[in-house]
Amino acid sequence: MLNVPSQSFPAPSSQQRVASGGRSKVPLKQGRSLMDWIRLTKSGKDLTGLKGRLIEVTEEELKKHNKKDDCWICIRGFVYNVSPYMEYHPGGEDELMRAAGSDGTDLFDQVHRWVNYESMLKECLVGRMAIKPAVSKGLSHEVEEDISVRVVENVGKIEIVLKKKETTSWKRLGHPLENHNSLIPRKDTGLYYRKCQLISKEGVTHDTKLFCLMLPPSAHLQVPTGQHVYLKLTITGTEIVKPYTPVSDFLLSEFKEPVLLNNKYIYFLIKVYPDGLFTPELDHLQIGDSVSVSNPEGNFKTSQFQELEDLFLLAAGTGFTPMAKILNYALTNIPSLRKVKLMFFNKTEDDIIWRSQLEKLAFKDKRFDVEFVLSAPTSEWNGKRGHISPALLSEFLKRSLDKSKVLICICGPTPFTEQGIRLLHELNFSKDEIHSFTA
Ligand code: FAD
Ligand code: NAD
């Protein structure tokens, strides 16, 4: 017999395998990629079995469709027949079956809050559950468009100043809007996308670019340190979203003049994969085109920095992006900090993002140090070589004092991060001393 390895999709090193929220992804069969799903939805095939009709679904009816080959799921009041999607679902059939014949909104939000199911599953839409109409009101009087928002990040205070259009006295503030989500836990709020405009795009390395987006008028978006957002584009008629971590203007201002610094702009360092799904589309956008940007997500908390003495950052490739803001925050806000070290893993010298800015920062701030490690260097490279390893880590992770309070942040390709976490545990660092960035 021929010993042909079974083909799994996505390949072990594929971006599509990035686990989200600690959830594992299953290997998909060949011909079952996101692009294949998009093609199927465009083929005109009747995916609901209802020949394009939309029906009103009762709870009793929903409950009946609870089998793999007849599986309906309700998400935020809309019912989808997800049976045709089963084999394309990166989380696997079992994950979808957990919500079969029921309201899967909570389960969905736990793992895929950011996924644009409305677009992905639009050909699977069966209809709507009966819902009560909600009152839609808002503020009782008009206000000026120009809203100012001040966020004191380390205290968690947000000050919003609205100016009345007319100087009359208001008897009441108004009524919450439908889906206004006031006074409910953040995890229960829907993900909101605002349309931003591409302002500039410049090369940083041979394949990584700095994208500057401008927020719409009166919009305020402050992405907390260590968190990411989702960018959304419509690709061949389907909305696709991918996570990206905005970078701070702190290192930008080291080299870019003039920098657009006020809260209207948001910067991203994004590597363009020529054979990727999303990044080539992003790269093809013209200045002035729009990209939708979600609310921030992520579980990093700056309270992890409290009383911190040593901060170690392990970044590989674009896994550097969360470290940019972390560096800024730590060096500016944490008086107890004695040492900040970044070990930055890349394939070649040409792949290193913002090398000179990092070297300049190390020169300027004596608490900060950076080491570059290359996995595929040229023969001229005099620095460190190889992949993440016990030898590299034990030399790098030296505390400034015997019992100093330490935090290690790690981000990069999934195998890098997983291997790193394993090695850190072997070096006796505890769970509380490690923060890993995943989706
Ligand atoms: P994909 O279509 O996912 O492909 C990427 C690569 O995998 C390509 O080389 C492609 O050929 C290969 N591939 C795809 N499918 C297969 C397959 N079946 N078999 C073999 N190979 C395959 N990236 C940044 O650049 N900057 C950031 O700030 C950033 N922040 C992130 C934050 C988070 C929380 C996470 C989880 C990821 C972040 N990423 C970031 C990565 C980003 O979300 C995307 O994964 C990345 O941009 C690739 O998207 P793509 O659709 O262009 O490529
Ligand atoms: P890359 O392919 O250029 O690799 C950079 C370095 O990572 C390599 O030099 C090597 O040292 C290490 N590496 C790569 N594969 C490895 C493996 N199998 N085992 C051990 N080490 C390995 O990296 P890239 O294309 O820039 O990819 C960056 C990754 O970071 C992407 O997967 C992206 O999704 C992820 N990322 C995650 C977040 C986040 O979760 N918050 C943010 C940004 C980027």
Closest protein CA for atom 12 of ligand 1: 14
The pLDDT confidence band at residue 145, using thresholds 50, 70 and 90, is: confident
What per-residue confidence (pLDDT) applies to 8?
37
| Residue from 231, 318, 372, 384 to probe ligand 2 pocket by mutation (most atoms less than 8 Å from CB) | 318
The rounded Å distance from CA 119 to ligand 1 centre is: 20
Residue 72 has pLDDT above 90, yes or no: yes
Q: Which residues contact 80 (CB under 8 A, 6 or more apart)?
A: 72, 73, 74, 117, 121, 124, 125, 126
In this structure, which amino acid lies at residue 318?
Answer: T
- Does 131 or 378 have the greater pLDDT score? 378
- Segment among 16-25, 344-353, 361-370, 394-403 with least mean pLDDT: 16-25
Pocket residues: Cβ below 6 A from ligand 1:
9-11, 14-16, 18, 33, 228, 242-245, 268-271, 273, 275-279, 318, 321, 439
First-to-last alpha carbon distance for the chain, in angstroms, is 41
> Which ligand is located closest to the Cα atom of residue 437?
2
Atom of ligand 1 nearest to the CA of 10: 18
The pLDDT confidence band at residue 58, using thresholds 50, 70 and 90, is: confident
What per-residue confidence (pLDDT) applies to 183?
55
The rounded Å distance from CA 317 to ligand 1 centre is: 12
What per-residue confidence (pLDDT) applies to 106?
84
pLDDT tens-digit series, residues 163-199: 888 888 888 887 766 655 555 555 556 678 999 999 9
- Does 85 or 148 have the greater pLDDT score? 85
Residue 148 has pLDDT above 80, yes or no: no
| Residue from 13, 16, 291 to probe ligand 1 pocket by mutation (most atoms less than 8 Å from CB) | 16
The rounded Å distance from CA 314 to ligand 2 centre is: 11
The pLDDT confidence band at residue 206, using thresholds 50, 70 and 90, is: very high
CA distance 80 to 62: 10
pTM confidence score: 0.74
The rounded Å distance from CA 13 to ligand 2 centre is: 9
Residue 405 has pLDDT above 90, yes or no: yes
pLDDT, average across residues 386-391: 97
> Which ligand is located closest to the Cα atom of residue 317?
2
Atom of ligand 1 nearest to the CA of 275: 11
Residue 250 has pLDDT above 70, yes or no: no
DSSP string spanning 368-423? Answer: EEEEEEESS--TT--SEESSS-HHHHHHH---SSTT--EEEEEESSHHHHHHHHHH
What per-residue confidence (pLDDT) applies to 20?
40
SS3 279: helix
- Segment among 44-48, 309-313, 380-384 with least mean pLDDT: 44-48
Pocket residues: Cβ below 6 A from ligand 2:
15, 18, 228, 245, 271, 316-319, 321-322, 345-347, 351, 375, 387-388, 411-413, 415-416, 419, 437-439
CB-count burial class (<10 Å; 0-12, 13-18, 19+) for 245: buried
Residue 318 has pLDDT above 90, yes or no: yes
Atom of ligand 2 nearest to the CA of 208: 26
pLDDT, average across residues 218-236: 90
Residue 10 has pLDDT above 70, yes or no: no
Closest protein CA for atom 31 of ligand 2: 413
What per-residue confidence (pLDDT) applies to 9?
35
pLDDT, average across residues 380-405: 95
Residue 257 has pLDDT above 50, yes or no: no
Residue 259 has pLDDT above 60, yes or no: no
- Segment among 104-108, 145-149, 210-214, 344-348 with least mean pLDDT: 145-149
Residue 16 has pLDDT above 50, yes or no: no
